[in-house]
Amino acid sequence: MRIANDPAMEQRRLDRVRALYEDPEYRAAHIARLCEVNRRPEIRASRVEHGKHIHATVLSRPDVRAKSQSPEARARAGRTRSETVLSWCPPEKRAEYMRLVKWKHIPAAEARRMIEAELGIFTPEEEGRRIVDRITIEMHMRDARRKVQAY
């Protein structure tokens, strides 16, 4: 077995890469380098050309197209996309969210707020309003109780 194919060596490489990216200084420097490279028009043009070449030589082949456009592959891609886009929504609530958006024609943001409210998940602003409202009610009740006890 070649060293490059050894699972232990592969795990060591992965651990080293993870350790590098956990260092904030290394990560920031890496992001800065990538941003600098991506700003160069010749690099971007070369990537476009490479993409066109791959599309022409690989992705357009009938065998590759048949695999990537098969009903199973499209269904898997749809499930993956839904998992990504609706990752905020628990799986048991996704059908309800889709019903609100598709059949009730409720805007997606409003439907999301409705589902999150049902689950007890609130935005910081909503949570702040709820806390202020609760404290205000408690103050009014305390004041009313004090007035009743005064007589």
Ranges of H-type helices in 24-123: 24-39, 41-54, 62-68, 71-85, 94-98, 108-119
Task: Give 29-54 pLDDT, tens digit per residue.
Answer: 999 999 999 999 999 999 999 999 99
Q: Tell me how many domains the chain contains.
A: 1
Structure tokens at 144: 């009313």
Give the residue, 121 or 101, on which the prediction is more confident: 101
Structure tokens at 40: 């160069």
The reported pLDDT for the residue numbered 1 is 63
For residue 79, being part of any structural domain is answered with no
For residue 112, being part of any structural domain is answered with no
Which domain, by its residues, includes 151?
A: 122-151
The reported pLDDT for the residue numbered 84 is 92
For residue 136, being part of any structural domain is answered with yes
Q: What is the pTM of this model?
A: 0.47
